[in-house]
Amino acid sequence: MMKRKAKILSWLLGLLTMAALLLVITVYTLPSLLSWQSPYLARCFFVLMLCFALCLLRLLLGPTAADRAVAVDTLGILIVGFCAILSIPTGRSWYIDIAIAWALQSFIGALALAKYLEGKGFDE
Amino acid sequence: MKSRIILFIIGFFIWMLLGWPFDLQHALVGIFAAALVAALTGDLFTRRPHHFTHISRYLWFAYYIFIFSWECLKANIDVARRVISPRLPINPGIVKVKTTLKSDTGLTFLANSITLTPGTFCVDIKPEEGSLYIHWIDVKSEDTQEASRLIVEKFEKILSRIFE
Amino acid sequence: MSEVLGYIFILFGLAFDIFGCVGLIRLPDVYNRLQAVTKCVTLGTCSILFGVVVIKGFNGTGIKALLCIVFLLLTAPVAAHALARGAHKAGVKLWEGSVCDKYEEDSK
């Protein structure tokens, strides 16, 4: 009984977090994207934020576990692009280092998710 | 032993590219790290090291990169058109194709290039039969021979000259 | 001049990113979604990284971005292939409008 309650609670917590992220992205992004004053690179960030919002929506809706795994993999690749754009206005080259590390890390994460979906151990 | 030396050279090259402005300390650590990785990995990297000395393979590889980028661009425009159009013109299915490539590297490159080219997507490989299962977003033919001719052939010719 | 060219590359990549994400929402089953995502998002991110290379030129940052393009092109299709195989083994069905499924017939 206790275990079941904890499961439902954690599920609700995740749902609330994701809904809050979606709300923040839409509320903060859309007005700045439509106004004429915002600079070019800021617009690029907002377009990528919309992509993140669509991925989070699929993560929220996805009927099967495989859909959610696909959405997580996509988020990983999008974050690489985000880090790459972030390195232009700040002028720091270590953002590209983060991008490389994130690309390799998300690849390993996707392989682990695939093995989990297949229902096998990691040693095969 | 030869394959270890090749792995050492490639690893050291990538290490030097990652820390581009040259300095001596960095290079010394790089030599140590690349030697350690080469000694631990052994012959897993390449089975036939004499292929690395053939010049024609590099030329074919440059041609392959050119063809691949063009197909990749076409694939993206194709997917964008399908996604944007309101009626979703898709007709999906999983078909089976045959290939004549045998080596592991060749099969991996073939699966990767099939995945990034228009409308096709590799689901599983069976290396012992030489067959691939491909998810096709717009199935034109369910027959194995016909599907092989449409999907695999244009890459198979180039890849067999690079990796076989 | 090179800044303008780089920004054009970045714009191109962002357009394909958003097409891929719209495909992730609109298409009907896992395999079709993987098709859209693995093509559009990979090329879009590679194009953004290439724009960074064009803007920064061939110094440390640019070469790292080129290496990142190579890693992405090598790893993203393999990850998508593993996810598709895992989904098929886990018993995710194809969309009901699908034509044929040779993999299901052969794995019985």
Chain C contact partners (≥3 CB pairs within 8 A): A, B
d(CA B78, CA C45) in angstroms, rounded, equals 18
Q: What is the mean pLDDT of residues C72-83?
A: 89
- The closest of A112, A84, A113 to A96, measured between CA atoms, is A84
Do B18 and C67 make contact, defined as CB atoms within 8 angstroms? yes
How distant, in Å, are the alpha carbons of A102, C38, C39, C42, C64 from that of B115?
A: 22, 8, 8, 11, 25
d(CA A116, CA C58) in angstroms, rounded, equals 41
d(CA B164, CA A96) in angstroms, rounded, equals 35
Q: How far is A43 from chain C, CA to nearest CA, in Å?
A: 10
Encode A53-72: b = buried (16+ Cβ within 10 Å), e = exposed.
bbbbbbbeebebbbbbbbbb
- The closest of C32, C25, C22 to A61, measured between CA atoms, is C25
Q: What is the mean pLDDT of residues A13-17?
A: 87
DSSP H/E element including B95: strand B93-98
Q: What pLDDT is recorded for position A46?
A: 83
Do C84 and B84 make contact, defined as CB atoms within 8 angstroms? no
Nearest to C39 among B17, B75, B96 (CB): B75
Residues B71, B151 within the same domain: yes
Q: What pLDDT is recorded for position A102?
A: 92
Residues B112, B140 within the same domain: yes
Q: What pLDDT is recorded for position C101?
A: 72
pLDDT tops 70 at residue A121 = no
Residues of C in contact with B142 (CB under 8 A): 99-100, 102
d(CA B144, CA B131) in angstroms, rounded, equals 10
Query: Which range marks the domain in which residue C42 is found?
Result: 2-107
Burial of C64 (0-12, 13-18, 19+ CB in 10 A): buried
Query: Which range marks the domain in which residue B6 is found?
Result: 2-50
Residues B60, B116 within the same domain: yes
DSSP H/E element including B146: helix B144-151
Strands B131-136 and B120-126, bridge-based pairing: antiparallel
% residues pLDDT > 90 (chain A): 13
Q: Chain centroid to CA B65: how far?
A: 10
Which residue ranges of chain B lie beneath pLDDT 70? none
% residues pLDDT > 70 (chain A): 94
Q: Residue A123 — pLDDT band, cuts 50, 70, 90?
A: low
Nearest to C63 among B20, B93, B135 (CB): B20
ipTM above 0.95, yes or no: no
CA atoms within 13 A on the CB side of C13: 28
Chain A residues in contact with chain C using a Cβ-Cβ cutoff of 8 Å: 40, 44, 47-48, 50-51, 54-55, 57-58, 64-67, 69-71, 73-74, 77-78, 80-81, 84-85, 87-88, 93, 96-97, 99-100, 103-104, 106-107, 110-111, 113-119
Q: What is the mean pLDDT of residues A15-23?
A: 85
Nearest to A77 among C45, C55, C78 (CB): C45
Q: What is the mean pLDDT of residues A89-114?
A: 89
Do C30 and A70 make contact, defined as CB atoms within 8 angstroms? yes
Residues B127, B153 within the same domain: yes
C65: contact with A, CB 8 A cutoff: yes
Residues B46, B58 within the same domain: no
Residues A78 and A52 sit within 8 Å (Cβ to Cβ): yes
Q: What pLDDT is recorded for position C48?
A: 92
Task: Tell me the pLDDT tens digit for each residue of B125-139.
Answer: 888 888 888 888 888
Residues 23-52 of B with CB under 8 A from C: none
C99: contact with B, CB 8 A cutoff: yes
pLDDT tops 70 at residue A124 = no
Residues B69, B27 within the same domain: no
pLDDT tops 80 at residue A120 = no
Residues B98, B156 within the same domain: yes
Copy the structure tokens of residue A117: 């979906």
Average pLDDT, chain A: 84
- In sequence order, which residues have a C-beta less than 8 Å from that of residue B111 and are 6 or more positions away? B122, B125, B132, C77, C81
Q: What is the mean pLDDT of residues A34-39?
A: 71
Q: How far is A10 from chain C, CA to nearest CA, in Å?
A: 25
Residues B122, B146 within the same domain: yes
pLDDT tops 80 at residue A32 = no
DSSP A81-112: HHHHHHHHHH--THHHHHHHHHHHHHHHHHHH
Q: What pLDDT is recorded for position C108?
A: 65
Residues of A in contact with C13 (CB under 8 A): 81
- In sequence order, which residues have a C-beta less than 8 Å from that of residue B55 and are 6 or more positions away? none
Helix, strand, coil distribution of chain B in percent, nearest 5: 65, 15, 25
Residues C30 and A64 sit within 8 Å (Cβ to Cβ): yes
Q: What pLDDT is recorded for position B53?
A: 76
Domain count within chain B = 2
Do C17 and A48 make contact, defined as CB atoms within 8 angstroms? yes
Residues B59, B25 within the same domain: no
d(CA A28, CA A32) in angstroms, rounded, equals 7
Domain limits of chain A?
A: 2-118
Q: What pLDDT is recorded for position B147?
A: 76
Q: What is the mean pLDDT of residues C70-78?
A: 90
Residues B31, B92 within the same domain: no
Q: Residue C49 — pLDDT band, cuts 50, 70, 90?
A: very high
Q: Residue C51 — pLDDT band, cuts 50, 70, 90?
A: very high
Residues of B in contact with C40 (CB under 8 A): 76, 79-80
Q: What pLDDT is recorded for position B6?
A: 85
- Please give, one letter per residue, the 3-state secondary structure of B21-56: CCCHHHHHHHHHHHHHHHHHHHHHCCCCHHHHHCHH
Residues of A in contact with C86 (CB under 8 A): 66, 69, 113-118
pTM: 0.87
